[in-house]
Structure 1
Amino acid sequence: MMFLGLCSVYSVLNGIGGAMVNTPCISSIAQYFQAKRAFATGIAMTAGSVGGVVIPLMLQRLFPTIGFAWATRILGFILLVLLILTNLLVTSRLPKKPLPSMKSILPYWPAFKEPSFVFLTIAIFLLEWGIFVPLTYITPYVVANGQSTSFGFYIVSILNAGSFVGRLGAGYVADRLGYVNTLIISVAFCVVTCLALWLPAGDSQAIALVFAVLFGLVSGSNLSLSPVCVGQLCGVEKFGTYYSTCWMIVSFGTLTGLPIAGQILTASGGDYTWLIVFAGLSYALAGTFLVAAKVAKLGWSITKKY
């Protein structure tokens, strides 16, 4: 982040660093929690929502006063302190293993022999297409529809505040209804909020606010439940392997989703209609593959916990 003040080409290093931090943090939670793993993961994931609330408001104040470069450097120093704390606090419950061989750090290809894992990976890939479109484009959307830039910053914080509650609530419910079951329900509501609220919002500030709150609530599960859905397909000792293998594929969804959305917006001449439809359809397809993952594992049973 500190180099962003000097260089605009930082995405590769930032992405690698984020992946190297995220994977062991999520894996360590799975080692300590079995009965209430979803709720524990949801609590940990709320940190991302806190950052999503605080950072836009912080940058909004810093950009006019100290400029872009120093604002991003300050953000980098904050992240540095948090990463130091992370390295001190995140530990493994499992015994230490010898240094990994090259084979052990490669994707675990046998996981793809399991249909449920394949369907789940595709579903999470599509969730990445769906979730980051509203998170990224809600600000330019409201500004393009006549709202102030300040409101654009605030609505992102409001969305992330809703996500804070959603991540906690989804984790609590998922431990009782099942991880995939809860994610399917959440994704269905994401489709509804995108197509029934965001699509017709136009220049209505009230509808945009309602969308931000409700989408935050129902989309919070996208990030907090996806890891535990993958984790129930393997033992604790293989969770990190399954998780990293899944996200190796999913990362291409993260990489391509926003460029595709941007091209749709450009081709539409700045009209957000088809961009929003793209987000809604991505969610609808993700829900379909989540259902397929459950059917592949348990058969056609609505009531079974999964």
Structure 2
Amino acid sequence: MTEKHLHDESTPIPVVPTVSRDDDNVAYPEGGWAAWSVVVGSFFGTVVAFGMMNTVGIFHQYLSEHQLKGYNESTIGWIFSVYVFLSFFCGIQIGPIFDAHGPRLLITAGSICMIASMFLLGVCTAYWHFMLVFGILGGLGTSLIFTPALSAVSHFFLVKRGNATGIAAAGGSMGGIIFPLSLQRLFPAVGFAWATRIIGFIFIACCAVAIALIRSRLPPKPGQAVMPDLKILKNRAYLLLTLGTYFMEWALFVPITYLTSFATATGAMDPAFSYQLIAIMNAGSCLGRWAPGYVGDKLGRFNSMIAALVLCTATSVTLWLPASILTPHTAAEATTIKVLSIVYALIFGFASGSNISLTPVCVGQLCDTNEYGRYYATCYTIVSFGTLTGIPIAGSLISATGGHYWGVVIWTVLCYLVSLCCFIWSRGEMVGWKLGVKY
């Protein structure tokens, strides 16, 4: 909507953002300085939260070669699975606190947790130290930051929510580029303790921007408690969406966690380059966080998610599986493994970028706005238990196959296939089976 003003040719015409309204007649500005500054703040918040989530493979590989060398893959994997589990599970009650009090208190608390986690990691020596500092403190801090950061974006956008959320979530991919490349240089140069402290200083700068810019807009809802409600699973489309998200997250964190150790185990790549694979994956994901959301606003959020899942499945079958089966007996075979791994990291990173950023938007399409908290909480309560077990299961598969990774790849492919079928079926329940329908 625009207002008419009398003006001469030298007077700039004021630009008023288009306003959208939801089913409850709540207005959303869909743009403007206030809205986009929140997106910028959320971007810096997800640099810390999702950036660390996208770097767990680097820490997994380093700890398995140094402080936790005597532990098997599955046992070490529990540290990072607890981290991811808490990152999602804690959002159940963080969401209502955000609704009642806004984002600043939560993001400040999360920033303290994340910064403390990085500074304390340097003095950790025992397994339980890493579980407490990285798994529990880091997981809580991540949830305290990204839950209000992405929720605040939804206060300003409705029609363009997929695009805006994708831009905000792309900060996680940017962090996933910066942190692995930094740690690759810092570990040998200054040691583990100072490497994590330097990352902690980066956290301080990013969190300061997030605290300053992220704000809420809709009226507070004090006293509102959003708890999981299993009765809404009677809605078949929603049940299928929840199952699809469960299997998708089960698969997603396997490459994120084990791609670095896979690259090292093949013998086709030196350890320094294996660290760079995570950065390559996140370079693809940086575009992948935004593009599917933008396309989803134009062509349908479910359509965009389904296309992304097809690409995740296809790349795992055609690129990562052959790389996991080959043995580098010759220079040509080693080169083939390296090329397949690089291309896989880049394309899978792009395809999987929407796995976290677009799912909440899809959940929102299956319910009224005033029921979103209940639907989101129920979905991610169930999904969080998948993230708790996925990484250790993958570690057990590596041990069961004698240190080979083809079992992990097949597990990833199967999870993505089930997820894809669930999303297609969920969409079919809502709009039928015609491909051209925007949904």
* TM-score for the superposition, normalised by structure 1: 0.93
Query: Secondary structure at the residue paired with 2:285?
Result: helix
Aligned counterpart in structure 1 of residue 141 of structure 2, from 9, 14, 17? 17
Aligned counterpart in structure 2 of residue 277 of structure 1, from 404, 410, 425? 410
Q: Which position in structure 1 is the counterpart of 2:358? A: 225
Contact 1:27 1:239 (8 Å CA) reproduced: no
* Cα distance per residue 1:62-92 (max 9 Å; x no partner): 1122221222232233223323322222221
Contact 1:23 1:240 (8 Å CA) reproduced: no
What is the correspondence of 1:178-189 to structure 2 with a 5 Å cutoff?
178-189=300-311
Q: Which position in structure 2 is the counterpart of 1:142? A: 263
Query: Secondary structure at the residue paired with 1:107?
Result: coil
Shift in alpha-carbon separation, 1:81–1:243, aligned structure 2, 3 A: farther
Query: Secondary structure at the residue paired with 2:366?
Result: coil
More displaced 10-residue stretch of structure 1: 175-184 or 230-239: 230-239
| Runs of at least 4 residues off by over 6 Å | none
Aligned counterpart in structure 2 of residue 132 of structure 1, from 225, 247, 253? 253
- What is the root-mean-square deviation of aligned Cα atoms in Å? 1.7
Q: Which position in structure 1 is the counterpart of 2:315? A: 193
Tell me if 1:153 matches 2:270. Answer: no
CA separation in 2, counterparts of 1:273 and 1:248? 30
Q: Which position in structure 2 is the counterpart of 1:85? A: 209
**Consecutive unaligned residues in structure 1, runs of 5 or more:** none
* Cα distance per residue 1:40-67 (max 9 Å; x no partner): 1111111000000000011111112222
Q: Report the Cα offset of residue 261 of structure 1.
A: 0.5
Q: Which position in structure 1 is the counterpart of 2:161? A: 37
What percent identity do the matched residue pairs reach?
43
CA separation in 2, counterparts of 1:164 and 1:257? 24
Shift in alpha-carbon separation, 1:32–1:108, aligned structure 2, 3 A: farther
Shift in alpha-carbon separation, 1:73–1:107, aligned structure 2, 3 A: farther
Q: Report the Cα offset of residue 13 of structure 1.
A: 2.2
More displaced 10-residue stretch of structure 1: 275-284 or 60-69: 60-69
CA separation in 2, counterparts of 1:129 and 1:145? 24
* Cα distance per residue 1:245-291 (max 9 Å; x no partner): 32222111111111110101100001111110101111001001111
Q: Report the Cα offset of residue 109 of structure 1.
A: 4.2
Tell me if 1:263 matches 2:396. Answer: yes
Q: Report the Cα offset of residue 139 of structure 1.
A: 1.2
CA separation in 1, counterparts of 2:213 and 2:369? 20
Higher relative CO (Cα under 8 Å, sequence separation at least 6) belongs to 1
Tell me if 1:47 matches 2:174. Answer: no
**Consecutive unaligned residues in structure 2, runs of 5 or more:** 1-116, 124-128, 327-333
Structure with the higher fraction of residues in helix conformation? 1
CA separation in 1, counterparts of 2:387 and 2:353? 16
CA separation in 1, counterparts of 2:307 and 2:265? 32
Q: Report the Cα offset of residue 99 of structure 1.
A: 4.0
* TM-score for the superposition, normalised by structure 2: 0.66
Contact 1:158 1:213 (8 Å CA) reproduced: yes
Query: Secondary structure at the residue paired with 2:437?
Result: coil
CA separation in 2, counterparts of 1:297 and 1:3? 49
Q: Which position in structure 2 is the counterpart of 1:164? A: 286
CA separation in 1, counterparts of 2:362 and 2:207? 26
Contact 1:27 1:240 (8 Å CA) reproduced: no
Q: Report the Cα offset of residue 157 of structure 1.
A: 0.5
Aligned length: 303
Query: Secondary structure at the residue paired with 1:98?
Result: coil
CA separation in 2, counterparts of 1:64 and 1:240? 45
Query: Secondary structure at the residue paired with 2:309?
Result: helix
Which structure is larger by alpha-carbon Rg, 1 or 2? Answer: 2
Shift in alpha-carbon separation, 1:216–1:109, aligned structure 2, 3 A: same
CA separation in 2, counterparts of 1:177 and 1:13? 39
Contact 1:30 1:236 (8 Å CA) reproduced: no
More displaced 10-residue stretch of structure 1: 45-54 or 122-131: 122-131
Q: Report the Cα offset of residue 225 of structure 1.
A: 1.0
More displaced 10-residue stretch of structure 1: 228-237 or 182-191: 228-237
* Cα distance per residue 1:108-159 (max 9 Å; x no partner): 4454332222211111111111111112211111211121011101111111
Contact 1:193 1:215 (8 Å CA) reproduced: yes
Tell me if 1:66 matches 2:199. Answer: no
Query: Secondary structure at the residue paired with 1:34?
Result: coil
